[in-house]
Structure 1
Amino acid sequence: MELLQLNASELPLSEWSFERRFDERGAIQWMQDNWSKSFVFSALYAALVFGGRHYMKLRPKMNLRLPLVLWSLTLAVFSIIGAVRTGSYMVHILSCSGFRRSICDQSFYNGPVSKFWAYAFVLSKAPELGDTAFVVLRKQKLLFLHWYHHITVLLYSWYSYKDMVAGGGWFMTMNFGVHALMYSYYAARAAGLRVPRPLAVLITSAQISQMAMGLLVSALVYRWMNHADCPTRIDNIGWAAVMYLSYLLLFSNFFYQTYLRRRDAHLKKE
């Protein structure tokens, strides 16, 4: 397949030195050799989460306000930078080569600026599992959506990166953008700031939109997969469709239960 060849000078943002030096071939090779370790991380995560809940059952909840602020703020800054860097790349591809090329071309994995952030994205899904430690130690309600989402995103991201599948640029850039909003919100809440309720509604709406767009991109990749310029695997499309559909249903249900049902109950009381 002929890849879209881009020079750093063509992009709206200049390439940072560490992005230029990043060895994407070595990163892809490492992931091809080690992607199955994501199952080990997932198994350890599940054991620690449910073991931790049992451990905390008869113990007082922890406050952890400062660690949670620092944790959320770190992930917010990482996601904001990632969203800006990958977003600028995707906007450039869209404006110069069109929507279809933005989905099908593999240049996101090895292009200037984006190649580092693509790898950073998939690796970040392992430390992001630490989100749940705060839920468990603070004895908050642990939703199925929460731990299911963490495990499946980790597995799918590592599985997909090794094959440089079509659609990856959209998947990663959307996730960076939503996480930039989400972790900023978490950091503000943990710091004790009063955050307007509409912002929470906006974040959940953005998550639902991300899942709908993920389904659309997966469908288009399936439609174009027989063309030489849209590389993927049928099993990857299948897993992506199942994953995004389940997320769409779960996040939509969360939206209904959290914002619509509670509002209706409040109106009835009045």
Structure 2
Amino acid sequence: MEMGDSSAALMMSVPNYSYIFHFERDFEHMEIKPWFQENWSTIVSYCAGLYLLFIFCGQAYMAQRPRMEMRSILVGWNVFLALFSIMGAFRTLPEIVHVLSTQGIYHSVCIPSFIESDRVSGFWTLMFVLSKVPELGDTVFIVLRKQPLIFLHWYHHVTVMLYAWYSYSEYTAAARWFVVMNFIVHSVMYSYYAFKALKFRVPRSISMVITALQLIQMVVGCLVNFWVIQMKSNGLECHVSDPNIKFSLLMYLSYFLLFGRFFYYAYVSPSKRMMMASDSSKLLKQH
């Protein structure tokens, strides 16, 4: 089925929203697509380079200086990202639920109607992709507050940003799963950190739940890629490129191993539980 000949099928995938904001109604994906395809690689390359340079230079700068508390800024940062993620989850979840209930798995992983025919989901998908650049700011707090910067933190930030922008430039159909899952997990995670920054006593079991949600997210991400591979091997048209599948599968598998290792040492293995507990809040800042 050619993308240009599938408008009827695509329109069937649009849920009946109770309310649509003006900025969602005015969203035109075709006005964004050419610019994105032309500039995405240059922008994320510069951002990734500056990000890694900041980590190296920032840690060297702070080595002989006292840590910065930045508590009020940290509170505002986490509250903003929590509210943004909650809004994103509420605006994108109806689309995937509707598609699964009316069109099935094939449509959900192979047809990019969430961008091409749904202005609400399309707008919030773009916001999700763009947000991966300012979310690098998580690391600013870690460096300036002189907290341990673990491998998973910067590795995850860089690869998620690269993959999100790359996938949007191709209108990768399976990305609807990744966007919704990430918004949901971030809603819980940043809300947790907002309460922690506000000095609320949050049970440690909540951090375990967040890590478990992140592991589930990685498992589902791998399953989505396997579904795409199966669809394509069956000869069905699927709007996901082969390089994208390889990148995505490698990314989700590596995340699963890293988060799984943390979960084991933090909550299962008694010998290293105390050591890992002190770093749990830093690791939970990964997406």
TM-score interval, smaller chain = over 0.9
Q: Is the 8 A contact 1:166 1:221 kept in 2?
A: no
Structure 1 residue ranges without an equivalent (≥5): none
Q: Which amino acid aligns with 2:265?
A: Q
Question: CA–CA distance in 2 between the matches of 1:89 and 1:13?
Answer: 13
Q: Which amino acid aligns with 1:232?
A: V
- Kindly provide the CA deviation profile for residues 148-188 of structure 1, in whole angstroms up to 9, marking residues without a partner as x: 00000000110111111121100110001011111111111
Give matches, 1:97-108, under 5 Å. 97-108=103-114
- Kindly provide the CA deviation profile for residues 228-268 of structure 1, in whole angstroms up to 9, marking residues without a partner as x: 541111111000011000000011111112222347767xx
**Match for residue 37 of structure 2?**
32
Q: Is the 8 A contact 1:225 1:232 kept in 2?
A: no
Question: CA–CA distance in 2 between the matches of 1:44 and 1:265?
Answer: 35
1:240 aligns with 2:248: yes
**Match for residue 191 of structure 1?**
198
Question: CA–CA distance in 1 between the matches of 2:61 and 2:266?
Answer: 28
Q: Which amino acid aligns with 1:163?
A: E
**Match for residue 187 of structure 2?**
180
1:70 aligns with 2:79: no
Question: CA–CA distance in 2 between the matches of 1:196 and 1:20?
Answer: 41
Question: CA–CA distance in 1 between the matches of 2:75 and 2:191?
Answer: 10
1:55 aligns with 2:61: yes
Question: CA–CA distance in 1 between the matches of 2:39 and 2:79?
Answer: 29
Residue 9 of structure 1 and its aligned partner are, at CA, apart by 7.9
TM-score, normalised relative to structure 1? 0.94
- Kindly provide the CA deviation profile for residues 45-81 of structure 1, in whole angstroms up to 9, marking residues without a partner as x: 0000121011111111111111001001101100000
Q: Is the 8 A contact 1:85 1:117 kept in 2?
A: yes
Q: Is the 8 A contact 1:165 1:231 kept in 2?
A: yes
Pick the aligned partner of 2:262 from 239, 254, 257.
Answer: 254
Q: Is the 8 A contact 2:40 2:166 kept in 1?
A: yes
Question: CA–CA distance in 1 between the matches of 2:270 and 2:72?
Answer: 30
- After TM superposition, the structure 1 stretch with the greater mean CA deviation from structure 2, 223-232 or 244-253, is 223-232
In the alignment of these two chains, the number of paired residues is 266
**Match for residue 19 of structure 2?**
14
TM-score, normalised relative to structure 2? 0.88
Question: CA–CA distance in 1 between the matches of 2:16 and 2:96?
Answer: 10
Residue 12 of structure 1 and its aligned partner are, at CA, apart by 4.1
- After TM superposition, the structure 1 stretch with the greater mean CA deviation from structure 2, 104-113 or 185-194, is 104-113
Q: Is the 8 A contact 1:121 1:172 kept in 2?
A: yes
Structure 2 residue ranges without an equivalent (≥5): 275-287
| Fraction of identical pairs, as percent | 45
**Match for residue 281 of structure 2?**
none
**Match for residue 163 of structure 1?**
170
Question: CA–CA distance in 2 between the matches of 1:130 and 1:114?
Answer: 25
Q: Is the 8 A contact 1:225 1:231 kept in 2?
A: no
Give the 3 Å change call, closer, same or farther, for CA 263–112 of structure 1 in structure 2: farther
